[in-house]
Amino acid sequence: MRLLDHDAPIDPEIAAVLDAIDATLAGDPVDGRYAETAEIALLLSSERAAVRPEFARTMDERVARRFAPAPVAVSRRRRRVPREFLEMTGGLAAAIGLIVAIVVIAGGGHGSSSMSSASSGAASGAGSSRAASSPPTASGSKAQPALVPPNGSSSTPTLQPPTTGRKVVQSAGLELAAAPSRIDDVAQQVYDVIGALGGIVENSTVTQTGGPEGYADFQLSVPSASLGQAMGRLSSLNYAQVVSRTDSSQDITDQYGAAQRSLADARALRTSLLKQLAGATTTEQVDSLNAQIHDAEASISSDQATLNRLNHQVGFSQLSVEINARSAPAPVSHGNGGFGIGQAAHDAGRVLTVAAGIALIGIAALLPVALVAGLAWWVGSTVRRRRREQALDAA
């Protein structure tokens, strides 16, 4: 039960206990301090089952090689895949790839036409839906082209500062632009979004003149947990375009902690003064203590109001929204529609897309064949290896 030479030394007390166990099993005298350990060792040795000779021999061998893995005879012969199998698999893969390429090329034109038609239909359907959902304008007024949010505005991630248990006050600002005749429509959408999220409209001003003087201004308060959702919805309102956006945050953990400590001190002072008032005996003492208690209660009220205000600032974020009337930008002229760099880049991208699609379909068609072929090769090699091992064992 001694440690091997390459092991690190153990605690002397543990070594002494091990020596006592060895001495007990060998029949040698043991120090009185380890009498209980010796008794337990004798009881366990008397109750242990007899060791089988095979197990003892195996353990002796493992101890002799210091429990290293037993050497295993490893065959160094390389397993070679049969040439006929490789030729058959390669020919089958080439045939399948050729068939897939012919089918894709033959049906490519029709598929492209169908996809183009479907896209055109979807676009026209979306346009019809937007036209039907837009409210009619007053008769005689010139229709204003609707402004739509820029691509990706609705999916822009909302900035969320890491709180990690701290008190953080968040606020945001959003500036939108809308057609002069759509100020009322966009303002109503702002009301709807804030109402759906449980927010509060603290102040609002909406002025629609039908001209560039129209504007709307909102001072809103929304639950801080819904600030990101509110900004996402307000950034994707119909007939509005995001001009600018501001996100800000302020850590008030220290201010909040100071208010908590001040409130605790004021309450402790009031408790102490009340105890003193109970033991006051003169009128002067009673009047002085009542005045101090009044001041302590005023301090408690002030500190509690400060904590309530800070909690409200943390729980509800301030959000300002400004909508300005702005005409839609004039359409950009693209010339006579002749062939140019843009058209060439578009065609090149389409060619690469078709080529990538053909390659992907070919890979998808060959993958099951490759899996089946690999499984068959693995099963065959396993069977051959087992037969070879059986033959060697029999020899």
Residue range 39-70, pLDDT digits in tens: 888 778 777 677 788 888 888 888 787 777 76
Distance CA 235, CA 251 (A): 26
Instruction: Estimate to the nearest angstrom the gap between the alpha carbon of 78 and the chain centroid.
Output: 48
Give the pLDDT band of residue 201 (cuts 50, 70, 90).
very high
Query: Does a structural domain hold residue 155?
Result: no
127-166 pLDDT, tens digit each: 433 333 434 333 333 334 344 444 434 444 455 555 567 8
Which of the 8 DSSP states describes residue 210? S
17-26 pLDDT, tens digit each: 888 888 887 8
Query: Does a structural domain hold residue 248?
Result: yes
User: Same domain, yes or no, for 183 and 240?
Assistant: yes
User: Same domain, yes or no, for 242 and 306?
Assistant: no
Task: Report the pLDDT value the prediction gives residue 131, as an integer from 0 to 100.
Answer: 36
Mean pLDDT of 87-91: 63
Task: Report the pLDDT value the prediction gives residue 212, as an integer from 0 to 100.
Answer: 80
User: Same domain, yes or no, for 318 and 222?
Assistant: yes
Q: 79 pLDDT exceeds 60?
A: no
Query: Does a structural domain hold residue 336?
Result: no
Q: 326 pLDDT exceeds 70?
A: yes
Distance CA 28, CA 41 (A): 13
Mean pLDDT of 280-284: 87
User: Same domain, yes or no, for 368 and 299?
Assistant: no
Rounded to two decimals, the pTM is 0.41
Task: Report the pLDDT value the prediction gives residue 76, as an integer from 0 to 100.
Answer: 47
335: left (phi over 0), alpha (psi -120 to 50) or beta: left
User: Same domain, yes or no, for 93 and 47?
Assistant: no
Q: How far is residue 134 from each of residues 94, 130, 144, 226, 348, measured CA to CA in Å?
A: 57, 6, 12, 28, 39
205-235 pLDDT, tens digit each: 998 887 788 889 999 999 988 898 999 999 9
Q: 122 pLDDT exceeds 50?
A: no
User: Same domain, yes or no, for 238 and 272?
Assistant: no
Residue entry with tokens 């030394």:
9
Q: Which amino acid is it at 97?
A: G
Mean pLDDT (the chain) is: 75
Q: 106 pLDDT exceeds 90?
A: no
User: Same domain, yes or no, for 209 and 275?
Assistant: no
Distance CA 13, CA 347 (A): 84
Query: Does a structural domain hold residue 94?
Result: yes
Query: Does a structural domain hold residue 59?
Result: yes
CATH number at residue 204: 3.30.70
User: Same domain, yes or no, for 199 and 284?
Assistant: no
Q: 93 pLDDT exceeds 80?
A: no
Query: Does a structural domain hold residue 299?
Result: yes
Q: Is the dihedral of CA 49, 53, 57, 60 positive or negative?
A: positive
Range in 74-78, 203-207, 267-271, 292-296 with the lowest mean pLDDT: 74-78
Domain that holds residue 183: 168-253+314-325
Query: Does a structural domain hold residue 338?
Result: no
Distance CA 1, CA 63 (A): 12
Give the pLDDT band of residue 333 (cuts 50, 70, 90).
very low
Q: Which amino acid is it at 228?
A: G
Q: Buried b / exposed e across 188-207, counting CB within 10 Å, b at 16+? A: ebbeebbeebebeeeeeebe
User: Same domain, yes or no, for 282 and 187?
Assistant: no
Q: How far is residue 219 from each of residues 195, 216, 235, 375, measured CA to CA in Å?
A: 14, 10, 16, 68
Mean pLDDT of 192-208: 91
Query: Does a structural domain hold residue 373?
Result: yes
Q: Is the dihedral of CA 378, 383, 388, 394 positive or negative?
A: positive
| Residue where a domain terminates, one of 325, 360, 376 | 325
User: Same domain, yes or no, for 235 and 92?
Assistant: no
Cβ atoms of 236 and 284 within 8 Å: the answer is no
Dihedrals phi, psi of 321, to nearest 5 degrees: -125, 130
User: Same domain, yes or no, for 172 and 321?
Assistant: yes
Q: Strands 200-207 and 316-325: what pairing?
A: unpaired
Determine the Cα angle at 171 with ends 174 and 148, to 5°: 20
Q: 249 pLDDT exceeds 60?
A: yes
User: Same domain, yes or no, for 87 and 103?
Assistant: yes
User: Structural domain tally of the chain?
Assistant: 4
Using only C-alpha atoms, the chain has a radius of gyration, in whole angstroms, of: 43
